[in-house]
């Protein structure tokens, strides 16, 4: 089912344009509804899951008219799709009634930021871009393999390495949970209606980071604080952002930190170095006993 040949491709799966016609409603850009209509992209998406992924129960966020749902049903034992729009949730129930009756598909009508998520073994989705960050950071701590479509500019920042223009808080916080790879750029023409921006598919393979953090929430707040001052040295970043990181005694952190790190700007600090600094800083938190 790869279909990367480019020409004379004919998908064995449901036709995305026909699904939109049967749903009887077009995607509304004001509700993050840009539906994938390129069969070749749709057919490739499940193949991007890391090798050996348990496809026992795939979660999809934002099913729309179901073209991706259909591809996921072909590879998974079970699929749960969360869809906020009642019209599309009802359409998915109708269109896939056989799979729903067989217990293979569960349609949850609701907001992916609020609903109780089921236990899932992997997640594959063409995300609503307006809430892609919130949804992704709800999912990443679950440590499951994921293949997600994002706005390309956002994807570039997720996968960025230190010392690149795109490297920032989003890169460090994403890569804290998973290896992040941009596996395919996707042009606006692959969607209906076409979004104004380019898109990209990102593979997220969960793994432990190559550093230890005792307090994940503090580490992530500390990284966020330092990147608000990305043009400043880490020394000044620590001093200027105590209100964000919650440090009671930023000068004490500066005194304790290695000079070599203090002289760098945030964009050159690796995740491991951030963890080192956060471990030092954790001793000087507000209300702490350091």
Ligand X SMILES: C[S@@+](CC[C@H](N)C(=O)[O-])C[C@H]1O[C@@H](n2cnc3c(N)ncnc32)[C@H](O)[C@@H]1O
The binding site for ligand X (CB under 6 A) comprises 31-36, 61-64, 67-68, 82-85, 88, 111-113, 126, 128, 131
Token readout for 109 is: 């009508």
Min CB(263)–ligand X separation in Å: 43
DSSP line for 100-150 = HHTTSEEEEES-TTTSPPPP-SEEEEE--GGGHHHHHHHHGGG---EEEEE
| Listed residue (204, 222, 215, 202) closest to 271, CA to CA | 222
Given the complex with ligand X, which of 85 and 221 has the nearer CB atom?
85
Q: What share of the chain is helix, strand, coil (3-state, %, to 5)?
A: 45, 20, 40
Distance in Å, CB of 13 to ligand X, minimum: 13
The strand pairing partners of 36, in sequence order, are 191
Determine if residue 34 is labeled as part of a ligand binding site.
Answer: yes
Q: How far is the CB of 49 from ligand X (least distance, A)?
A: 16
User: Is residue 36 annotated as involved in ligand binding?
Assistant: yes
Judged by beta carbon, residue 39 or residue 156, the one nearer ligand X is 39
Alpha-carbon distance values, 191 to 13, 42, 72, 154, 188 (Å): 17, 11, 18, 18, 6
**Shortest separation between residue 56's beta carbon and ligand X, angstroms:** 21
**End-to-end Cα, the chain, rounded Å:** 58
Q: Which helix (H) or strand (E) holds 98?
A: helix 97-101
Q: Say how many CA atoms lie within 13 Å of 229 toward its Cβ.
A: 19
Give me the least distance between CB of 98 and ligand X, in Å please. 19
From the CB of residue 163, how many other CB atoms can be counted at a distance below 10 Å?
A: 11
The nearer residue to ligand X, 64 or 162, going by C-beta atoms, is: 64
Whichever of 67 and 277 has its CB closer to ligand X, that residue is: 67
Contact 173, 137 (CB under 8 A): yes
Which CB, 33 or 175, lies closer to ligand X?
33
Q: Is 5 annotated as a binding residue?
A: no
Q: Which is nearer to ligand X, 57 or 84 (CB)?
A: 84
Enumerate residues 6+ apart whose C-beta is below 8 A from 259. none
Closest residue by beta carbon to ligand X: 62
Answer whether 76's CB lies under 8 Å from 175's CB: no
Q: Flag whether 27 is marked binding.
A: no
Q: How far is the CB of 149 from ligand X (least distance, A)?
A: 7
- Binding-site positions for S-adenosyl-L-methionine read 34, 36, 62, 83, 111, 126
């Amino acid at each position: 089912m790869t279909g990367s040949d480019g020409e004379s491709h004919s998908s064995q799966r449901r036709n995305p344009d026909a699904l939109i016609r049967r749903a009887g409603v077009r995607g509304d850009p004001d509700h993050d509804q840009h539906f994938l209509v390129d069969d070749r992209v749709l057919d490739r998406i499940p193949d991007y899951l890391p090798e050996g992924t348990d496809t026992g129960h795939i979660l999809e966020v934002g099913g729309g008219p179901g073209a991706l749902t259909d591809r996921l049903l072909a590879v998974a034992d079970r699929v749960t799709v969360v869809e906020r729009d009642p019209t599309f949730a009802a359409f998915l129930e109708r269109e896939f009634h056989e799979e729903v009756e067989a217990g293979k598909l569960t349609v949850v009508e609701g907001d992916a930021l609020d609903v109780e998520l089921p236990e899932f073994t992997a997640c594959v989705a063409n995300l609503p871009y307006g809430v892609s960050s919130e949804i992704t950071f709800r999912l990443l701590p679950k440590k499951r393999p994921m293949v997600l479509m994002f706005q390309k500019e956002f994807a570039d920042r997720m996968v960025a390495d230190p010392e690149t223009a795109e490297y920032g808080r989003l890169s460090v916080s994403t890569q804290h949970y998973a290896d992040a790879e941009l596996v395919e750029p996707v042009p606006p023409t692959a969607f209906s209606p076409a979004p104004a921006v380019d898109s990209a598919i990102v593979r997220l393979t969960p793994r432990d980071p190559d550093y230890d953090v005792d307090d994940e929430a503090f580490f992530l707040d500390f990284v966020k604080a330092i990147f608000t001052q990305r043009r400043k040295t880490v020394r000044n970043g620590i001093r200027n952002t105590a209100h964000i990181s919650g440090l009671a005694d930023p000068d004490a952190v500066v005194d304790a930190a290695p000079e070599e790190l203090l002289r760098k700007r945030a964009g050159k600090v690796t995740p491991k170095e951030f963890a080192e600094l956060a471990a030092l800083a954790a001793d000087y938190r507000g209300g702490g006993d350091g």
